[in-house]
C-alpha cells in the first residue's frame, strides 16, 4: 500500500508554484514553499505555506536542508530564456536533485512540451523528443538528469503553454498584423487544470511517469487568439492563413493513469 502524501515541498513559488501551494494548503497538506526573495517570505507565510529562502546557482546552494524533507518535492523553476542563466539550468537542476537525495521521497519536475519539435504531427508521451529551441533543449537535459538520479520514481509533467490569471492570452497578439502560421493548432493549458493534474498525481500516488499536460482542444491559432483579444476588449490581431511548423500535443497518461477530466476548455 502506498503511503499517503502529507508533506509537499514546492521549489519555486512563482505563477504556477504558488497556485499549487495554495490549493494543497486548502486540501490540508503540509506545504513548504521556496522563494529567492526575502520580501516574498511573508506572502508565503500569510497563505499558511512554510516559507524558505532557497537560492541555487550553477556553483552555489543556499538552502535549509529541512526544506527538502518530505513526501514529495515539486521543482517549478523554468529556465530563464534569453539570458546567460539558460545554459546553467541543467547544472542548477542537478544541484537541486543532489540536495533532495534521501530527503524527498518523490520528485516531480515541471517540464515543457517544448521537448517536442514542431514537426507537423501529433505527439504523445511515447513520441521521440527532439527540441528545436534552446529552452526545450535545457528542460530535456533536466529531465534526463532526473531519470539518471531517480530511475525508479522519476515523475515529469510537461506543460503546454500556460494561461490563466495574469496571463490573458488576448494580450499575446493584440493589434498585431500579418502574424504568421495562423492555421497552426494551439497547445495550451489553463492554470486550474495545471494545478489539478499535479494534485491528482499526489492523490493517486501516480509517480514514476511522464505526463503531457495539455488541454484536449486545439483550435487554430488565428481563431483562438482573435477570440481571446475580442472577448477582453483588445484590438483584434490579423493572421496569415497558413499552417507551417506545428504539432498537436496529446496525452496517454493523463487520461490513462490519472483519469483526469479537464475543467477549462480552450
What dihedral angle (degrees, nearest 10) is formed by the CA atoms of 214, 219, 220, 223? -130
Task: Tell me how many domains the chain contains.
Answer: 1
β-pair type (61-62, 55-56): antiparallel
Asked if the structure places residue 83 within a domain, the reply is yes
Predicted pLDDT at 82: 64
Closest of 123, 106, 96 to residue 201, by C-alpha: 106
The answer to whether residue 227 is domain-embedded is no
Question: Is 71 part of any domain?
Answer: yes
Provide the grid cell at 25.
Answer: 494548503
Taking the CA atoms of the chain, what radius of gyration do you get in angstroms? 19
Q: For residues 28 and 122, is the Cβ–Cβ distance under 8 A?
A: no
**Which structural domain, as residue segments, surrounds residue 31?**
7-165+188-216+247-258
Reported confidence tier of residue 88, pLDDT bands at 50, 70, 90: confident
Residue 263 belongs to a domain = no
For residue 221, is it within any domain?
A: no
CATH number at residue 128: 3.40.50.720
Q: Is residue 181 part of a domain?
A: no
Asked if 120 contacts 245 with a C-beta cutoff of 8 angstroms, the reply is yes
Domain-embedded: residue 102: yes
The predicted pLDDT at position 151 comes to 84
Instruction: Classify burial at 10, counting beta carbons within 10 Å of its beta carbon; exposed 0-12, middle 13-18, buried 19 or more.
Output: buried
Of the pLDDT bands very low, low, confident and very high (cuts 50, 70, 90), residue 2 is: low
Query: pLDDT at position 140, please?
Result: 97
DSSP string, 245-263: S-EEE--SHIIIII----S
CA distance 69 to 171: 40
Residue 226: pLDDT band with limits 50, 70, 90 = very high
Residue 141 domain-assigned (yes or no): yes
C-alpha cell at 92: 542548477
Q: What is the mean pLDDT of the chain?
A: 94
**Cell numbers placing 30:** 503540509
Question: Alpha-carbon distance 13 to 32, whole Å?
Answer: 10
Predicted pLDDT of residue 1: 44
Amino acid at each position: 500500500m502506498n503511503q499517503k502524501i502529507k508533506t509537499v515541498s514546492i521549489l519555486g513559488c512563482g505563477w504556477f508554484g504558488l497556485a499549487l501551494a495554495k490549493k494543497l494548503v486548502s486540501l490540508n497538506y503540509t506545504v513548504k514553499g521556496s522563494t529567492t526573495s526575502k520580501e516574498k517570505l511573508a506572502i508565503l507565510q500569510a497563505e499558511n505555506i512554510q516559507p524558505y529562502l532557497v537560492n541555487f546557482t550553477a556553483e552555489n546552494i543556499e538552502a535549509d536542508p529541512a526544506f527538502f524533507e518530505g513526501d514529495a518535492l515539486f521543482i517549478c523553476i523554468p529556465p530563464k530564456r534569453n539570458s546567460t542563466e539558460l545554459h546553467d539550468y541543467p547544472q542548477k537542476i542537478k544541484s537541486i536533485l543532489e540536495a533532495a537525495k534521501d530527503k524527498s521521497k518523490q520528485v516531480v519536475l515541471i517540464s515543457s512540451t517544448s521537448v517536442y519539435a514542431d514537426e507537423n504531427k501529433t505527439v504523445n508521451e511515447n513520441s521521440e523528443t527532439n527540441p528545436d529551441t534552446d529552452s526545450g533543449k535545457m528542460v530535456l537535459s533536466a529531465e534526463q538528469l532526473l531519470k539518471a538520479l531517480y530511475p525508479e520514481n522519476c515523475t515529469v509533467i510537461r506543460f503546454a503553454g500556460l494561461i490563466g490569471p495574469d496571463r490573458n492570452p488576448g494580450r499575446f497578439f493584440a493589434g498585431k498584423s500579418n502574424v504568421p502560421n495562423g492555421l497552426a493548432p494551439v497547445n495550451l493549458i489553463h492554470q486550474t487544470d495545471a494545478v489539478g493534474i499535479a494534485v491528482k498525481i499526489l492523490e493517486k500516488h501516480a509517480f514514476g511517469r511522464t505526463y503531457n499536460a495539455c488541454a484536449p482542444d486545439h483550435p487554430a491559432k488565428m481563431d483562438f487568439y482573435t477570440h481571446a483579444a475580442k472577448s477582453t476588449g483588445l484590438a483584434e490581431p490579423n493572421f496569415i492563413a497558413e499552417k507551417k511548423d506545428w504539432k498537436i500535443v496529446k496525452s496517454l497518461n493523463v487520461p490513462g493513469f490519472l483519469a483526469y477530466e479537464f475543467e477549462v476548455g480552450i
